[in-house]
Structure 1
Amino acid sequence: MSERSVFLFPGLGAYSPGALRRARRSHPQVDATFQEIDAAAVLAGAPPVSTTLFDGEPRSIRQLLAEPAEVLQLAIFGISVAVHRVLTERGARPHLLVGHSFGEMAALVAAGAFSLADGVTLVCARAAALRPWEGRGAMTAVGMDQESAGHVPGVLDEPELVVACLNAPRQTVLAGPPTALDRVERLAEVLDVPHARLHLPYASHHPTMRPAVADFVARMADARQLPLQAAVHSPVHGRRYTDDDDLKQALAECLVLPVRFTDTVRSLHSRGYTTYVESGALNTLTRCVEHTVPGVRTTAPLLDPEEEDAGLRAALTSVARPRATPIQAEEEPVPSHPAPAREPEPTDVRPAAAPPGRVPPPVGAAPDREHLVVELRALYAETLEYPPELLTEDALLEAELGVDSLKQTSLLGRVADRFGLPAGAAELPVWELPTLRHVADHVAAAKARR
């Protein structure tokens, strides 16, 4: 069986400050993509996003969350589409495209099922349909397998909790009321299970979101579905899309149905898909793939903002192949229409985000910084069971040492307890603290503000 390649389109957690700033200098597809997105966004009544991404100092996800929802969402969508354009226009030939929840819209645009302008319409329609639900729900990723996570609602007597997303064998996302997720996180602390509240204002992939489905479909009315030019597999519907599908309805159903990314990866791997490229920022999905089917080839071209050109070259090499006909039968035959929706035996999005690379550290490092690094190295080495010599102050915790973001979030909680940091000091997104040096400077600055 020949090797096959997959482009992965991540969801709403896939934002990295400074993404594509270096790549746009040598890849005109980046600016061309965002010029189209800006024009369509203005027509849709949304702000342009290219200035947000490329002008001034890179902005954090917290800063973008304070903007209208469309800004961050169009940025993430645009980054995914731009990466796909850069790679395919330079000769990349992936066999299959896979979107994770929100990422399905970028995957379908990349596959030609919608124009880029209509893709903007889809993103804005989704944001508008979900606006009434903001603040009514939330999501938490926990370091548990599906079976263990499935028992949590019963153990806590919280029937509104659902398993919203299966990302990896030991990474599951629960969705529900914020108060119920508070209890989940307290239970995780007691069990010493890594956990992280996701940067989302609602409970995606939850059955109570059903009223938003019809609203989303209505708002997409002007978007025109086109013939697919590449194969797209949906982890929500559990199969490849076809031209007979009503893709707008399928996208709307993604609001309430679970995302079974782990099942998708295992199924694809069994059929010879052994190369996976993250078409977006960070390495959220490629890390999930590595945890699910170790030994495959993965590339996350935008993981390190300082090495984007090298990352794109590596991705291009991994998926180059002779041009084929638009859609070949890369999978076994599938029915013409979406399979009947499984009852939301929930599953959802947004894998915990990974660090973007070498970000400037916070200002205000205290004089005892060297001592802080020594203490942090000891704490991290003990918790991770790593040799201390591996934990140099500039080693990238995720990209080089393989410490996933759930574990990093848990470690930041221990750091806050160890150093008596003020409330909220452990809530900084882990991708803003990619090395022990950054963690030490963050601790020093937090102590100085007390």
Structure 2
Amino acid sequence: MITGPNGPTSTRGVVHMFPGQGDFSLTPLLRVLPRVPSLARALAEVFGEADTVAAEFGVAPIGPRLAAPPALGTGGSALGAVGPVLSTSGLAGESPGTVQLALFGVSVAVHRALEADGLRADRILAVSFGEIPALTAAGCCPIADGARLACRLGQLLTGAGGGMTLVGAAERRARRLLAEAGPGAGSVVVACVNHGAETVLSGSLAGLAEVESLAGRQGVAVQRLRLPFMSHHPALAREAGAFAHYARRLRLEPPRRPVYSVVAGRSYQRDTDLPRALSACLVRAFSLPAVLGPALAGASLVVEAGTGRTLTTSVRLATPHIGALAPVFDGEWPVPLPRPRPPCDPPGREDTRPRRTVTDARRSTTGERDS
């Protein structure tokens, strides 16, 4: 058993979710990192390998800019403790592929840190760009090749143009907006359905602006995503072909643990054409509510291996019977504090006693109470 914010949870049936590019910010990472030494170690390890290929794409290494001396009282390294604080907006102004390299490395590091602290993933759920770190975590390729895929994808998408807009409405309502917006919005398509009240559109900037204007007049909330390109759009067929061609230059092995692709709507098998599957994420739309049931069948706990909580929110709405956590975004690292094992424990015996979390320990010393 492991103790999370909502009480004891079984560690069997654990799923790690790897998000796409639309929900990536370094701010939550900066906040939680000083309290989670395992995450600081994982970041150093992952970027120590990922940065070895950064120069191939004209990208400045990420790891050295994350490294900092140990912060007093934290027991670990503090991201951004010295020097300028990194941000995704700052990275977006650098060479194409920089943000993608950062997202790739952070996602793999969060996954590794969770596993180092006892939350091993029995299954992996991959969403869009998240397929690259997910397949890397599943043993399909070394970290250096995963970093290559991330950087190359960033280069291809940066030249594609367009953008993406989050609509605070169900898919049916979003499609009605598209129909009513007229021919000027003809390039805009439904790209992603996060849950019953949130849909993402993709297309030209002019088309998105027209839909956003109409939505505003009808009282529908919209928000342009901080992505300088569109994705999940059929117009990206050329970029998808180029990405598949590049991926075939690398040696991608079958996954060593189950990986469920939200875009493909199924688990990847030993004979899956992984380069083709990865490229499909550029052109194919997806609906999270439609796939979460089979993707999470038998799961007891789902943990987001990223810095946001969009996936966690979708899981909580679609499958409320399954525990779902966004440990970096929420600042609640759901793992036990280390404590010595009794010397008389026989080898291999599982300790099932409830353990305190980092959050529980902080509350016991500060008098903090749940509201």
Normalising to structure 1: TM-score of the pair?
A: 0.64
The answer to whether the 8 Å contact 2:186/2:207 transfers is: no
Give the distance between the partners of 1:112 and 1:79, measured in 2 at CA: 17
Trace 1:46-195 onto structure 2 (pairs within 5 A): 46-53=59-66, 54-55=79-80, 56-133=83-160, 136-157=161-182, 158-195=185-222
Distance 1:57 1:237, change over 3 A: same
Deviation sequence 1:336-355 (CA, Å, 0-9, x none): xxxxxxxxxxxxxxxxxxxx
Q: Secondary structure at the match of 1:39?
A: helix
Give the distance between the partners of 1:68 and 1:194, measured in 2 at CA: 32
Q: Secondary structure at the match of 1:102?
A: helix
Please state if 1:284 is matched with 2:310: yes
Percent sequence identity is: 34
Give the distance between the partners of 2:88 and 2:262, measured in 1 at CA: 26
Pick the aligned partner of 1:293 from 311, 319, 329: 319
Trace 1:128-277 onto structure 2 (pairs within 5 A): 128-133=155-160, 136-157=161-182, 158-269=185-296, 271-277=297-303
The answer to whether the 8 Å contact 2:38/2:113 transfers is: no
Please state if 1:22 is matched with 2:34: yes
Which residue identity is paired with 1:153?
A: L
Which residue identity is paired with 1:296?
A: I
Deviation sequence 1:223-265 (CA, Å, 0-9, x none): 2112311100011111000120110111011100012222121
Give the distance between the partners of 2:199 and 2:157, measured in 1 at CA: 22
Q: 2:344: which partner in 1?
A: none
Shift of 1:44: 4.5
Deviation sequence 1:49-105 (CA, Å, 0-9, x none): 123444523233222221123221111111110111112233323221111111111
Which residue identity is paired with 2:124?
A: L
Deviation sequence 1:393-412 (CA, Å, 0-9, x none): xxxxxxx99xxxxxxxxxxx
Shift of 1:311: 0.7
Q: 2:52: which partner in 1?
A: 39
Which residue identity is paired with 2:54?
A: A
Shift of 1:161: 1.4
The answer to whether the 8 Å contact 1:80/1:279 transfers is: yes
Which residue identity is paired with 1:38?
A: D
Shift of 1:216: 1.1
Shift of 1:284: 2.1
How many residues were matched structurally?
312
Q: Which has the higher contact order (CA 8 A, sep 6+)?
A: 2
Deviation sequence 1:300-355 (CA, Å, 0-9, x none): 12124xx4xx5151699xxxxx99xxxxxxxxxxxxxxxxxxxxxxxxxxxxxxxx
Shift of 1:267: 2.9
Q: Secondary structure at the match of 2:333?
A: helix
Which residue identity is paired with 1:31?
A: A
Distance 1:315 1:92, change over 3 A: farther
Trace 1:349-360 onto structure 2 (pairs within 5 A): none
Which residue identity is paired with 1:14?
A: F
Q: 1:366: which partner in 2?
A: none
The answer to whether the 8 Å contact 1:141/1:197 transfers is: yes
Give the distance between the partners of 1:113 and 1:312, measured in 2 at CA: 27
Give the distance between the partners of 2:328 and 2:111, measured in 1 at CA: 12
Normalising to structure 2: TM-score of the pair?
A: 0.77
Distance 1:25 1:275, change over 3 A: closer
Trace 1:280-429 onto structure 2 (pairs within 5 A): 280-304=306-330, 307=331, 311-313=333-335
Give the distance between the partners of 2:56 and 2:35, measured in 1 at CA: 27
Give the distance between the partners of 2:229 and 2:214, measured in 1 at CA: 21
Give the distance between the partners of 1:44 and 1:51, measured in 2 at CA: 17
The answer to whether the 8 Å contact 2:163/2:202 transfers is: yes
Give the distance between the partners of 2:130 and 2:35, measured in 1 at CA: 21
Distance 1:247 1:314, change over 3 A: farther
Structure 1 unaligned blocks of 5 or more: 317-321, 324-399, 402-450
Give the distance between the partners of 1:92 and 1:244, measured in 2 at CA: 28
Shift of 1:123: 0.7
Distance 1:292 1:18, change over 3 A: closer
